[in-house]
């Protein structure tokens, strides 16, 4: 009878240890799952940030091209004004000295 009690206690102890091991594995899996979820969310956030930055770079490039074009037009306009104005005409200093 005594061996039956010991084996029953051993079985319960073994069962308790197995349950503890399974709980530990489940807890570890839960931690891993939470970490994976956190990393996935972080990657998605970084992807959205990258998309936003790429869109901003494209907008800045377009604005830069527009401003370059406007600067060329203004530069040509100023050049035309200067060539039409007598104030900016080059003078021939040799002919004035004679």
Give the model's pLDDT for residue 98.
47
Domain range for 30 is 1-83
Tallying the residues shown for the chain, one arrives at 98
What's the total number of domains in the chain? 1
Q: Is residue 2 part of a domain?
A: yes
Q: Is residue 90 part of a domain?
A: no
Query: How far is the first Cα of the chain from the last one, in angstroms, to the nearest whole number?
Result: 142
- 11: pLDDT strictly greater than 90: no
Q: Is residue 14 part of a domain?
A: yes
- Is the pTM for the entire model greater than 0.85? no
Please give the residue that has the higher pLDDT: either 93 or 51. 51
- To which residue do tokens 């900016």 refer? 88
Q: Is residue 65 part of a domain?
A: yes
Q: Contact, 82 vs 88, CB < 8 A?
A: yes
Q: Is residue 89 part of a domain?
A: no
Q: Is residue 88 part of a domain?
A: no
Give the model's pLDDT for residue 2.
47
């Amino acid at each position: 009878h005594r061996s039956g009690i010991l084996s029953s206690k051993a079985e319960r102890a073994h069962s308790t240890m197995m349950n503890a091991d399974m709980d530990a594995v489940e807890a570890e899996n839960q931690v891993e799952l939470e970490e994976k979820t956190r990393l996935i969310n972080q990657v998605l956030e970084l992807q959205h940030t990258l998309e936003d930055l790429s869109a901003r770079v494209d907008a800045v490039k377009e604005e830069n091209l527009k401003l370059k074009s406007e600067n060329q037009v203004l530069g040509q306009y100023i050049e035309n004004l200067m060539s039409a104005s007598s104030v900016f005409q080059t003078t021939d200093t040799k002919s004035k000295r004679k």
